[in-house]
Structure 1
Amino acid sequence: MNMLDILHHPLWAFCAALLALVVRLQRRGRWDPKACNVRLKGKTAVVTGANTGIGKFIALDFARRGARVILACRSEARGTAALEEIREKSGNSDIHLRLVDLSILDSVREFAKRILEEEKALHILVNNAGVSGLPRQITKDGLDASFATNHLGPFLLTNLLLDLMKRSAPARIVTLSSVNHKKGHVDFAHFHGENLTYYMDKVYNHTKLHNIICTNELARRLRGTGVTANSVHPGIVLTKVLRHYPLMVRCIFNFIGFLFFKSPEEGAVSSIYCAVAEDTEGITGKYFDSDCSLVLPSPLARDPALAAKDFEMCERLTSKL
């Protein structure tokens, strides 16, 4: 019997289906958002990259809980489509679209300015938007585009909204990182596109490490304010984040992912857990795995001296001279 015959054998199909079912059951995690009765009526939340994938399901969950939800998106067309879908599915009309390109610092400043002018409070900020596999691109701010989108843009946005969040406390900041941060390294030349290998997730991994490092330092600085800051790993999720990868890689990933990876809805669970669960109230400066458990990030992510230095570097890079 050759390999082609084996693949077409009914026993193989049964085993593959059974394995897929087991993986799906295992990946559901220990916390179910649908079983959580926390309401967000009177609360305001901002979710970046909310027009698709994980971000859209996070925003939809908040909307179903009665929150005023602001979708922070780059594309007006895709953002409008997501807004209409979330309003329809949640029955909540208090959903709003605000445009922002996180790779452009002036765009982040304009977005934050509008939020500060229009919103009386901000209780939840989810830094979800991200890219992977981008070729080398240097923004008008002199920054690598991946680092600007994944880290420096969200870093600036968070800091610009901090005073509003402090006035709204208790409030929560959730930043999506990745288990891939363990393959990342810290080299401050990376911010400007130097010493980088632009292939698949190489740059992405570095940005995700910086996410955790700066989130931990932010949590330290926010102690006593009533604002918490945590980072999460959503799991291996079948989303459009690989759209910049080679076609063959995307095909293989999508085929395997269809059977074994989390859906975007499942990938949103750990972020929702950090943002709304009573269990996470008051917890700050931590890293949550995709099953909503507290885990230790890499040693680099736990280095307080490096965190202080990284945070100060990001402050300088995002300051308007």
Structure 2
Amino acid sequence: MINYLPTYLDTTLDRAVVLGYSRIGFRLRSRAWSPFPPQALKGRTALVTGANSGIGKAIAAGLAGLGASVTLAVRNTSRGDAAASEITAAVPDAAVRVERCDVADLADVREFAAGFLGKTDRLDVLVHNAGVMPAGRAESKQGHELCLATHVLGPLLLTELLSPAMAGAAAAQVILMSSGGMYTQALHPDDLEYRTGDYHGATAYARSKRMQVALTPTLADRYAGEGISVHCMHPGWVDTPGVATSLPKFRALTRPLLRSPAEGADTAIWLAATDGLPSGRFWHDRRIRREHYLRRTRERSADRNRLWQFCAAATGVAIG
């Protein structure tokens, strides 16, 4: 049985932002949650991108702790091996392996997916966690703005390529790790590559996270016939190496309020371990959340369609 705070209190926490996104909100809400059943994911397989530190490592550890066999898809395999060692030290029976994949490089994604499918014909959980926040505008090997490539194009292509393995599982889950920062940004269908205006890494990050949310219903519809659910979520404010590096002033001001990586990972693990949840929705702290709080961020269906058309063309994913 799933329990929640009263709706009015939960909504108040969410609208207050500082309370809802911080460890305060997590700890208040989590008092009402039921614990994960032991070995809830026993016999299932999972893949987590960007799993060598922070939230990604915490997600991988949580999935392994529930019995899943977990692949860490990382750019740096030395750091990935270190993360895997930490996970197996904490979860002695964990089945964890490390594979190299640069999610921003579409050629690398294709090579990784081919190798992965050669080793397994079943994937139950795919978590798109890999993230970047560049100091200045940078491009992937295919010439796409780096946040767009890492958070949108690479995950879209990887999901498409691995969908046969997910279709072979019962009730597979795709989970996109977004950010509460996306609430500040609208889609920019005329400038998805962020080529105009002054470039700011935090803005590029939030724009690409808005794209993830906008694409989630489309992806949910695309894979529904294969029994694959697609979820998007944000973890709240979490103290991670990426925040320390990219947002040092924010971290200095909010550090006492920041969530631990394990707290930030909770909803992703819960989504993976909970059957029967509605697909195509946006989640935070185990509850469906609104996609917009500001009128200026609302997009038209035509804008979502233009985003999908652009992404499909950029990745070579067939629309149909």
Instruction: Please indicate the TM-score interval, normalised by the length of the shorter structure.
Output: 0.7 to 0.9
Relative to structure 1, the CA distance from residue 301 to residue 170 in structure 2 (aligned partners, 3 Å threshold; closer, same or farther) is: farther
CA distance in structure 2 between the partners assigned to 1:93 and 1:271 by the alignment: 18
Is it true that 1:231 corresponds to 2:228 in the alignment? no
> Match for 2:160: what amino acid?
N
Query: RMSD in angstroms over aligned alpha carbons?
Result: 2.5
Deviation of 1:69 after TM superposition, in Å, equals 0.3
For residues 320 and 220 of structure 1, do their structure 2 counterparts lie closer, same or farther at Cα, with a shift above 3 Å needed?
closer
Partner of 2:122 in structure 1? 121
Is 1:309–2:309 an aligned residue pair? Answer: no
User: Would you say 1:199 and 2:200 are equivalent positions?
Assistant: yes
> Which of 279, 283, 292 is the matching residue for 1:288?
283
Write the distance in 2 (CA, Å) between the matches of 1:304 and 1:164: 30
Q: Tell whether the 8 Å contact from 1:73 to 1:99 is kept in structure 2 after alignment.
A: yes
Displacement, 1:146? 1.7
Q: What is the percentage of aligned positions where both structures have the same residue?
A: 31
Quote the residue 1:27 is aligned against.
26
1:190 Cα deviation (Å)? 4.0
Deviations 1:69-113 (A, max 9, x none): 000111111101001111121113421001011111111111111
* SS of residue in 2 equivalent to 1:201: helix
Q: Are the structure 2 counterparts of residues 189 and 305 from structure 1 closer, same or farther at C-alpha, using a change threshold of 3 Å? A: closer
Q: 1:266 to 1:308 in 2, by over 3 A?
A: same
Instruction: Give per-residue Cα distances to partners, 1:210-230, cap 9 Å, x unaligned.
Output: 111112110022223211001
Q: Secondary structure at the match of 1:186?
A: coil
1:266 deviates by 0.6
Flag the structure with larger Rg: 1
Pairing 1:180-191 to 2, within 5 Å after superposition: 180-188=181-189, 190-191=191-192
What secondary structure, in the 3-state scheme, does the structure 2 residue paired with 1:268 have?
A: helix
Distance of aligned partners of 1:123 and 1:33 in 2 relative to their CA distance in 1, 3 Å threshold = farther
| SS state at 1:156 partner | helix
Unaligned runs of 5+ in 2: 1-18
SS at match of 2:207: helix
User: Which secondary structure does the structure 1 equivalent of 2:56 belong to?
Assistant: helix
Larger mean CA deviation between 208-217 and 137-146 belongs to 137-146
TM-score w.r.t. length of structure 1: 0.84
TM-score normalised by the chain length of structure 2: 0.84
User: What residue is the counterpart of 2:131 in the other structure?
Assistant: 130
1:56-81 Cα deviation digits (max 9, x unpaired):
11100111111110001111111010
Give the match for residue 53 of structure 1.
54
Which stretch shifts more, 178-187 or 210-219? 178-187
**Could you list the per-position Cα deviations for residues 159-192 of structure 1 after superposition, in whole angstroms to 9, with x for gaps in the alignment?**
1111221121310011011121122232345444
Does the aligned pair in 2 maintain the 1:209–1:301 contact within 8 Å? Answer: no
Q: Answer whether contact 2:24 2:257 (CA < 8 A) is retained.
A: no
